[in-house]
A and B are shown apart, each in its own frame.
Chain A
Amino acid sequence: MDQSISSEIIDDYTAVIVTGSELDNNNAHEMFEVIAEKQSKGHFRIIIDMQKLEFLSSAGVGSIIGTVETSRENGGEIILCGLSPTIEHILSVLDLDDYLTIAKDKETALTLSRETSK
């Protein structure tokens, strides 16, 4: 089980957060704190790289949904990338695939981030 959450600053407005293989009740709070910390420093364009993610619980979903509007209110966006079909399925079951911005991979997400951010 890899519940690690790491991050990388791309520029003054952009950060990438990389999940481990699980985002569940045990580390959802940490995910929320990491995103909020980036936003508090002006990084409102946030890419969440889920390439390694194998399990996403409802608490993990909540940790992301609770932060999206903060980025949007500040001209940024939270973009998820590298989703497996099962993770994408869980988001679609909750009808969140329309609400969230989802990109195929990190490079696409970075490009999209520059285009969509104001």
Chain B
Amino acid sequence: MEIRAAKLRTVDLPREVSVKVLGVFENEILDMIDEKPDLIAVDCSGLEQVTSSHINALWLAYLYCKEAGVEISIASPSEGLIRVLKLMDLHDLFMFDHDTIKTRMRKAVRSISSEYTSTYADEFMADVDNINLAMVRFLEFIKVYGLTEIAEFELKTVFYEVATNIRNHSGITDKELIVFTARKNESKITMVFADSGKPFDISGFQIGFNPHQAGLSKQKRGFGLELIHRLLSTIDYKRLDNVINVLTLEKELE
């Protein structure tokens, strides 16, 4: 299992920047800096109009990051934002990522298993409620496959355990996204999860579980990875651009 410190944090630049919203944005940046990320990406994809408040927010974010020695990039900037930053001689202070992290995650999950027709795609924030809601949506979808009750339950369990594992171990915040797709052919279902947390490879986990030993040692944790591995046929992990974790899971259907 590989766990390294390299990590990215993403934050949305608010559309409407009131004093209160600016305060929240500042706190988000400061909280992220406390986590000592390698890079903070400010996602500007939601911006329709650029105001001086937006520029102030970016300037503040830049100052905080510079002071803390954290790199900052602007993700998915509009032409208007770039123009304003150039006019104010601020353009060269930032790195620019014209493909948002979200877009890169979506592309990553959709490019895998491309031989299948894309049948299901979802993205959800990594908090408990949104994971549960996403699981319910996925369950509604897999009903169309006409699987057995046991097979449906196994897929539900895999979804929950993997999403919860990402939430608990990849270091992403409740507001960051997990991107998910599922595809099915006659004999198997392929599920792909992508997140922008720190590298977390569960594919190398060794099955060696002894239930009696677990009981005797009063073991409370560590059942999740065992369960995931026992319920799946294959697990593949990739780290893309040192930014995105992509977990591809296959389950043979009987």
Contacts and interface: CB of A to CB of B under 8 A. Distances in A.
Interface of A: 1, 24-26, 32, 55, 57-59, 61-63, 65-70, 85-86, 89-90, 93-96, 98-99
B209 A65 contact: no
A16 B164 CA distance: 29
A89 B6 CA distance: 39
Contacts, number: 75
Interface in B128-180: 128, 132, 149-150, 153-154, 156-157, 160-161, 164, 168
Interface of B: 128, 132, 149-150, 153-154, 156-157, 160-161, 164, 168, 209, 211-212, 214-216, 218-224, 226-227, 230-231
Given A57-B160, A85-B149, A96 B220 contact: no
A62 B221 contact: yes
Contact of A99 (B128, B212, B218): B212
12 contacts: A32-B220, A57-B224, A58-B224, A61-B223, A62-B222, A65-B211, A65-B215, A68-B215, A93-B227, A94-B227, A99-B214, A99-B215
B161 A58 contact: yes
A73 to B, nearest CB: 10
